C-alpha cells in the first residue's frame, strides 16, 4: 500500500506499483523520489508523512514535514517561507548530533514547503509511560543524564527548542538512546490577523511558543530564553514520575507555581533540583543545562556540605573557622569567574582531598574541576578519620560513614526509605532483597551479598562494589556510572539498559550476564570476564 502525498487528496491510500493517485491524479513519487507510506500526523501547519526515499539504495524510510500556509496573502506566504528556511537552517546546523534527526532535504513543491528528515523508529516517552506506567527516581536521573548534554549542545548552537515534552522525545529502537524531534519553528500556522496588525518580528516569533503546561511564562509571553527549555525538561521529569500531564496537576493560584511534590516519591535533595528547574521566575531558575548537571553532580553531597560548612561563629567574629575555611556557605569568597555552584564544588573537592590526605588537587593531577565529569572512584584508601595534623582541631575531625546492618536496611526500605547514599554497607547479607529504585550513590557496599536481589532502577553511581556478590541480581536500568565493580560476581545478572559508563570492571565476572542495550565501553568489557552465554550490548551472545 502506498500513500498519496498531496495533502488535499480525499482518499490518499493507493495500491502498490501505481504511478498516479487513483483519487486526485497526483504523481505518487514526489519530486520523482519520495514515495508516501502513511500519514504520521496533522496540525495547523500541514501534515507529516512517512515515506521511502526511492533515490537511495535500499529505499530507506524518512519523515516528510509539510508547511502549508492557511492564507494566500503574499505577506503571509513570505513569512511562512522565512520560517521554513529558518527551520531548515537550524536542523542543518545541529543535525550532526547523534540524538537529533538529520536534515536530508528541503524544497518547495506546488506552493507548499517540505522538510525531509531522518526517520527515528521507536516509542516516544509519552507512549512509554502510558504503556508501562511512571518510573522511579533513578530512571529520571538517567533521563536527565541523557538529555541535558544534548540540550547543552543545542544551546551552544544558539538554538532554543521551545517544545520539549515527552511526545517529542523518542527512544530509538536501535540503541535505546533518546532522540529529540520537532524543532517547531514551523509548527503553528501563520495567523493572518497577527501578521496584519503586528511587526514582522512579533509575527515571526509568535510561532512554536510551545505546549501549554510545558512552556514557562516567559515563553508564553513570546520571550523564550535558554532557561525556558530547562523548565520544560523539569515538567517532563514530573510527567515521568507521576504519569500526569501538567493540566492534571494543581497550581498555586497566586504564583502560578506547579504543586507536584505531594505526587512524587523522591529524595529531598533531588526534589530541590527539580524545584529549581521549575521556578516560575526565570531569574531563580537554572540558566542552562550545565548548571543542572553540576547540581546533580553535587546533589548527593548537599546534606554533608551543609553540616560541614555551616558552623557556629567564633569569638573573633571573623568569617573563617580554625581551618581557614568559611564558616558558612554565604561566607564563601565571591569570584568574577565562578558561580555559586562552582564555589560549592571547589569547597567540596577541597574537603574530599583533605579527607584522603591530599592537597586540594584533583586525582587527575591538575586543579579541581568544576564541570560535570565522571571520574573513576578510588578503590582502596578511604580513611575513616582525618589525622590530627590534617584537621588542626579534634572537633573538626570527620567521623567514618555510619554503618547500617541488613535488618535496618530492609526495615527502612519497607517503611518507605529509598536514600542510602554514602552509607557503609560492606559485607551485609542481603540475598534476594527487594531494594528496587533505591539510591546507593557513593555508598560502600564492598563484598556485600546481593545475590538474586531486585535492584532494578537503583542508583549505584560511584559506589564501591568491589568484590560484591551480585549473582543473578536484577540490575535492569540501574545507574552504575563510575562505580567500582572490580572482582564483583555478576554471573547471570540482568544488566539490560544499565548505565555502566566509566565503571571499573577489572576482573568482574559477567559470564551469563544480560548486557543488552547497556551503556558500557569496549575497554571495560575487555578487562571483565565473559563467556558464550553473556548477552552483549548489541543483543548477541558470546565472548567479548
Q: Which three cell numbers stand for residue 444?
A: 560502600
d(Cα 364, Cα 33) in Å, to the nearest integer?
54
- The one catalytic residue in 163, 229, 472, 484 is 163
Q: Which three cell numbers stand for residue 109?
A: 513543491
Strand partners, 419: 439
The candidate with the shortest Cα–Cα distance to 109, out of 7, 20, 22, 189, is: 7
Contacts of the segment 320-328: beta carbons below 8 A, 24+ positions apart:
321/396, 322/392, 322/393, 322/395, 322/396, 323/391, 323/392, 323/393, 323/396, 325/350
Angle at which helix 289-298 crosses helix 340-355, to 10 degrees, equals 30
Cα distances (angstroms) measured from residue 450 to each of 239, 454, 459? 32, 9, 15
Q: Which helix (H) or strand (E) holds 297?
A: helix 289-298
Letter string b/e over residues 98-124, b meaning 16 or more CB atoms within 10 A of that residue's CB: ebbbbbbbbeeeeebbbbbbbbbebbb
Yes or no: say if 214 and 246 are a contact pair by the CB < 8 Å rule. Answer: yes
Cα distances (angstroms) measured from residue 191 to each of 125, 206, 217? 31, 9, 21
d(Cα 442, Cα 213) in Å, to the nearest integer?
35
Residue identified by cell 513543491 is 109
d(Cα 289, Cα 371) in Å, to the nearest integer?
11
For the chain, the farthest-separated pair of C-alpha atoms sits apart, in whole angstroms, at 92
Whether 163 is catalytic: yes
Tell me the H-state helices in 95-165. Answer: 125-132, 137-156
Strand partners, 39: 49
488, exposed or middle or buried, with CB in 10 Å at 0-12, 13-18, 19+?
buried
> Half-sphere exposure of residue 90, counting CA atoms within 13 Å on the CB side?
23
d(Cα 7, Cα 75) in Å, to the nearest integer?
22
The candidate with the shortest Cα–Cα distance to 136, out of 459, 482, 511, is: 459
DSSP secondary structure letters along 30-75: ETTTEEEEEEEEEETTEEEEEEEETTSTT--EEEEEEE--S---HH
Q: Which three cell numbers stand for residue 4?
A: 498519496
Angle at which helix 268-277 crosses helix 302-309, to 10 degrees, equals 100
Q: Catalytic residue numbers?
A: 163
Amino acid at each position: 500500500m502506498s500513500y498519496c502525498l498531496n495533502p488535499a487528496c480525499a482518499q490518499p491510500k493507493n495500491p502498490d506499483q501505481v504511478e498516479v493517485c487513483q483519487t486526485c491524479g497526483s504523481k505518487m513519487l514526489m519530486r520523482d523520489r519520495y514515495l508516501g507510506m502513511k500519514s504520521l500526523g496533522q496540525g495547523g501547519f500541514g501534515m507529516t508523512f512517512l515515506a521511502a526515499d526511492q533515490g537511495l539504495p535500499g529505499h530507506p524510510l524518512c519523515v516528510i514535514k509539510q508547511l502549508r500556509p492557511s492564507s494566500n496573502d503574499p505577506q503571509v506566504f513570505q513569512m511562512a517561507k522565512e520560517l521554513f528556511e529558518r527551520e531548515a537552517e537550524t536542523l542543518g546546523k545541529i543535525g550532526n548530533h547523534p540524538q537529533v534527526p538529520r536534515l536530508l532535504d528541503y524544497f518547495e513543491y506546488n506552493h507548499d514547503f517540505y522538510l525531509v528528515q531522518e526517520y527515528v523508529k521507536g516509542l516516544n516517552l509519552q507512549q512509554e509511560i502510558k504503556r508501562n506506567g511512571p518510573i522511579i527516581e533513578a530512571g529520571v536521573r538517567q533521563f536527565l543524564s541523557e538529555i541535558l548534554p544534548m540540550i547543552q549542545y543545542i544551546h551552544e548552537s544558539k538554538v532554543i527548542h521551545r517544545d520539549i515534552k515527552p511526545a517529542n522525545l523518542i527512544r530509538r529502537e536501535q540503541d535505546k538512546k533518546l532522540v529529540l524531534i520537532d524543532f517547531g519553528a514551523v509548527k503553528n500556522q501563520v495567523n493572518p490577523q497577527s501578521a496584519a496588525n503586528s511587526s514582522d518580528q512579533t509575527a515571526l516569533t509568535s510561532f512554536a511558543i510551545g505546549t501549554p503546561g510545558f512552556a514557562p511564562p516567559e515563553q508564553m509571553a513570546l520571550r523564550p530564553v535558554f532557561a525556558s527549555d530547562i523548565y520544560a525538561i523539569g515538567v517532563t521529569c514530573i510527567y515521568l514520575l507521576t504519569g500526569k500531564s501538567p493540566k492534571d496537576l494543581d497550581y498555586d493560584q497566586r504564583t502560578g507555581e506547579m504543586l507536584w511534590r505531594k505526587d512524587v516519591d523522591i529524595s529531598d535533595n533531588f526534589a530541590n533540583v527539580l524545584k529549581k528547574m521549575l521556578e516560575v521566575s526565570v531569574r531563580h531558575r537554572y540558566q542552562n543545562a550545565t548548571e543542572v548537571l553540576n547540581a546533580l553532580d553535587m546533589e548527593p553531597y548537599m546534606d554533608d556540605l551543609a553540616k560541614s560548612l555551616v558552623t557556629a561563629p567564633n569569638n573573633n567574629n571573623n568569617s573563617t573557622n580554625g581551618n581557614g575555611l568559611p564558616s558558612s556557605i554565604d561566607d564563601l569568597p565571591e569570584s568574577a569567574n565562578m558561580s555559586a555552584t562552582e564555589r560549592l564544588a571547589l569547597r567540596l573537592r577541597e574537603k574530599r582531598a583533605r579527607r584522603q590526605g591530599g592537597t586540594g588537587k584533583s586525582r587527575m593531577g591538575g586543579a579541581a574541576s568544576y564541570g560535570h565529569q565522571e571520574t573513576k572512584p578510588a578503590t582502596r584508601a578511604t580513611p575513616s578519620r582525618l589525622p590530627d595534623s590534617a584537621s588542626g582541631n579534634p572537633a573538626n575531625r570527620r567521623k567514618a560513614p555510619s554503618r547500617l546492618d541488613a535488618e535496618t536496611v530492609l526495615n527502612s526500605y519497607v517503611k518507605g526509605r529509598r536514600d542510602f547514599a554514602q552509607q557503609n554497607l560492606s559485607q551485609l547479607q542481603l540475598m534476594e532483597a527487594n531494594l528496587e529504585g533505591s539510591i546507593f550513590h557513593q555508598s560502600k557496599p564492598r563484598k556485600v551479598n546481593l545475590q538474586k536481589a531486585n535492584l532494578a532502577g537503583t542508583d549505584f553511581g560511584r559506589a564501591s562494589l568491589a568484590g560484591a556478590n551480585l549473582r543473578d541480581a536484577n540490575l535492569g536500568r540501574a545507574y552504575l556510572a563510575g562505580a567500582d565493580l572490580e572482582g564483583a560476581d555478576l554471573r547471570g545478572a540482568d544488566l539490560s539498559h544499565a548505565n555502566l559508563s566509566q565503571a571499573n570492571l577489572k576482573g568482574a565476572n559477567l559470564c551469563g550476564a544480560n548486557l543488552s542495550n547497556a551503556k558500557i565501553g569496549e575497554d571495560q568489557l575487555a578487562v571483565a570476564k565473559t563467556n558464550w552465554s553473556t548477552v552483549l550490548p548489541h543483543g548477541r551472545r558470546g565472548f567479548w
